[in-house]
A and B are shown apart, each in its own frame.
Chain A
Amino acid sequence: MSAGNLPTKEANVLKGHEGAVLAARFNADGNYCLSCGKDRTIRLWNPHRGIHIKTYKSHGREVRDVHVTSDNSKLCSCGGDRQVFYWDVASGRVIRKFRGHDSEVNAVKFNEYASVVVSAGYDRSLRAWDCRSHSTEPIQIIDTFLDSVMSIGLTKSEIIAGSVDGTVRTFDMRIGREISDDLGQPVNCISLSNDGNCILASCLDSTLRLLDRSSGELLQEYKGHTCKSFKMDCCLTNTDAHVTGGSEDGSVFFWDLVDASVVSNFRAHASVCVPVAKREAMEGHSS
Chain B
Amino acid sequence: MESDEEDMVFFGTPITREEDITTTRKKKSVAEASGQLRTLPPWKQEVRDEEGRRRFHGAFSGGYSAGYYNTVGSKEGWAPQTFTSSRKNRAEIIQQSIFNFLDDDERSELEADSLGTSMQFDTFGFTAAEIARKQAENEQQQRPSAIPGPIPDEVVLPATDSIGVKLLLKMGWRHGHSIKDSRTDSLYGDSSNLGCGPDSQLVPRAYARREARKAFLALSSKDASTQLAAPEQVEGDLEDVKELPSDINQYSESTPVYVLNPKQDLHGLGFDPFRNAPEFREKKSSRLSETKELGLRKPLGMRESLFGFNSNTSAGRTAPGFGIGALEELDAEDEDVYASGYAFEENYVQEIEEPSRLAIEHKKKSGEKGDGALPGFKVASNSDYQLERFSPPVIPKDFVPRHKFPAPLEVNYKLADVPPVEVPPPEDNNLKVLVEGVATLVARCGKLFEDLSREKNQSNPLFSFLYGGNGHDYYSRKLWEERQKRNDQTKQQSNGNMFPSAKKMTAESRGEILGEKPLERSTRDLSSSASSADTISLQFNLSDTFTNPASFTEPQEIAKPFRDDPAKQERFERYLKDKYRGGLRSKDSGGASNMSEAARARERLEFETAADAIQKGKWGSESWPANQQLLDLSTATGLQFTSAGVEQAGVGQAQEMMMKEMYPKREEFQWRPSPVLCKRFDLLDPYMGKPPPPPRMRSKMDALIFMPDSVKDAKVEETAALRKDLFSESKEVTDIEAEVEVEAENVERPVDLYKAIFSDDSDEEEENSYLNQVEDPQKKVEVVNTTLSRLIAGDFLESLGKELGLEVPPDVSGLENKAGISSIYKENANANKGDSSSLSAVSGSYADQGVPQGKTYNREASQVIVSDKHEGLDVNTYRSGNKTADPDSSLEKSGKVKLEKVVQEDKNAKTPMGKRGWSSGSSDDDRSRRKSSSRHRRRSSNSDGERTDSSDDYRDRYHSRSKGTKKLSSRDHSSSRKHSKHRKHRSGDTSSRSSRHGSEKDHREAKRDKRKWKD
- Listed in ascending order, the chain A residues whose CB lies under 8 Å from chain B are 111-113, 115-116, 122-124, 128, 130, 132, 139-140, 142, 144, 146-148, 156-157, 164-166, 171-186, 209, 211, 215-218
Any A CB within 8 A of the CB of B413: no
Q: Are B664 and A144 in contact (CB under 8 A)?
A: no
8 nearest A-B residue pairs (beta carbon):
A216-B666, A178-B671, A184-B663, A176-B686, A139-B676, A140-B674, A178-B669, A115-B680
B147 contacts which chain A residues (CB < 8 A)? Answer: none
Q: How far is the CB of B904 from chain A (nearest CB, A)?
A: 15
Q: Provide the residues of chain A in CB contact with B687, threshold 8 Å.
A: 176
Residues of B within 8 A of A130 (CB): 676, 680
- A124 adjacent to B912 (CB under 8 Å): yes
Beta-carbon contact of A180 and B678 below 8 Å = no
Of B666, B669, B671, B913, the residue contacting A181 (CB under 8 A) is B666
Supposing A140-B677, A146-B713, A186-B522 touch, asked if A181 and B664 sit within 8 A by C-beta, the answer is yes
> Would you call B664 and A142 a contact (CB within 8 A)?
no
Q: List 18 A-B contacts (CB under 8 A).
A: A115-B681, A122-B912, A144-B671, A146-B914, A147-B915, A147-B916, A157-B683, A166-B522, A166-B523, A173-B678, A173-B683, A176-B686, A178-B670, A182-B663, A184-B662, A216-B664, A216-B666, A217-B664
Q: Which residues of B contact A132 (CB under 8 A)?
A: 680
CB distance B681 to A177 under 8 Å?
no
Contacts of B910 in A (CB 8 A): 124
Asked if B672 is at the interface of the complex by the 8 Å CB criterion, the answer is yes
Q: Contacts of B683 on A, CB cut-off 8 Å? A: 157, 173-174
**A173 and B681 contacting across the interface, CB-CB below 8 Å:** yes
Inter-chain CA distance A177–B687, complex, in Å, is 11
Q: In the bound complex, what is the Cα–Cα distance between A192 and B670 (angstroms)?
A: 23
Contact: A157 with B681, CB < 8 Å? yes
Q: Beyond A116-B677, A173-B686, list 15 extra A-B contacts (CB 8 Å).
A: A139-B676, A140-B677, A146-B914, A157-B681, A157-B683, A175-B686, A179-B666, A179-B669, A180-B666, A181-B665, A182-B666, A183-B663, A183-B664, A184-B662, A218-B663
Tell me which residues across on chain B come within 8 A of A115, comparing CB atoms: 680-681
Is B671 within 8 A of A111, CB to CB? no
Asked whether any CB of chain A lies closer than 8 Å to the CB of B179, the reply is: no
A116–B680 touching, CB < 8 Å: yes
The yes or no answer to B659 lying at the interface (CB within 8 A) is yes
Q: Which residues of B contact A175 (CB under 8 A)?
A: 686
Cβ–Cβ < 8 Å partners of B913 in chain A: 147
Q: Mark B650-674, 1 if CB is under 8 A from A, else 0.
A: 0000000001001111111111111
B196 within 8 A of A: no
- Which B residues are CB-close (under 8 A) to A173? 673, 677-678, 681, 683, 686
Cα(A112)–Cα(B680), bound, Å: 10
CA distance A128 to B963 in the complex (A): 18
> How far, in Å, is B209 (CB) from chain A's closest CB?
69
Contact A148 B674 (CB under 8 A): no
> Which residues 67-113 of B sit at the A interface, judged by CB distance below 8 A?
none
CB distance from A37 to the nearest CB of B (A): 25
Say yes or no: A144-B669 contact (C-beta < 8 A), given A182-B663, A184-B663, A218-B664. Answer: yes
Complex Cα distance, B666 from A215, in Å, reads 8
Report if A180-B668 is in contact (Cβ < 8 Å); known contacts: A116-B681, A139-B680: yes
A251 to chain B, nearest CB (A): 24
- B680–A144 touching, CB < 8 Å: no
Is B740 part of the contact surface with A, judged by Cβ < 8 Å?
no
> CA of A174 to CA of B676 in the docked complex: distance in angstroms?
13
Given A140-B674, A146-B912, A157-B681, A184 and B667 contact (CB-CB distance below 8 Å): no
Min Cβ gap B200→A in Å is 68
Q: In the complex, what residues of A have CB within 8 A of residue B677's CB?
A: 116, 128, 139-140, 173
- The answer to whether A139 and B674 have CB atoms under 8 Å apart is yes
The distance in angstroms between the C-alpha atoms of A122 and B910, with both chains bound, is 12
Kindly list chain B residues whose C-beta atoms are within 8 Å of the C-beta of A209: 664
Quick check: is B626 within 8 A (CB to CB) of the other chain? no
* Cα-based distance from A173 to B677 in the complex (angstroms): 8
- Contacting pair B915 A174 (CB below 8 A): no
Q: B residues within 8 A CB of A156?
A: 681-682
Separation of A182 and B724 alpha carbons in the complex (Å): 14
Which one of B669, B684, B912 has the highest number of Cβ atoms from chain A below 10 Å of its Cβ?
A: B912
Contact call A177/B668, Cβ cutoff below 8 A: yes
Q: How far is the CB of A117 from chain B (nearest CB, A)?
A: 10
Chain B residue with minimal CB distance to A122? B912
Instruction: Tell me which residues across on chain B come within 8 A of A171, comparing CB atoms.
Output: 671, 673
Residue among B673, B686, B910, B962 with most chain A CB within 10 A: B673
Q: How far is the CB of B395 from chain A (nearest CB, A)?
A: 49
List residues 952-977 of chain B with CB under 8 A from any CB of chain A: 959, 962-963
> CA separation between A200 and B659, bound complex, in Å?
18
Q: Which of the residues B659, B664, B669, B912 comes within 8 Å of A177, measured between beta carbons?
A: B669
User: Complex: how many Å from CA A147 to CA B917?
Assistant: 12
Q: Provide the residues of chain A in CB contact with B659, threshold 8 Å.
A: 184-185
Instruction: Point out the residues of chain B lying under 8 angstroms from A181, CB to CB.
Output: 664-666
Complex CA gap A142/B909 in Å reads 14
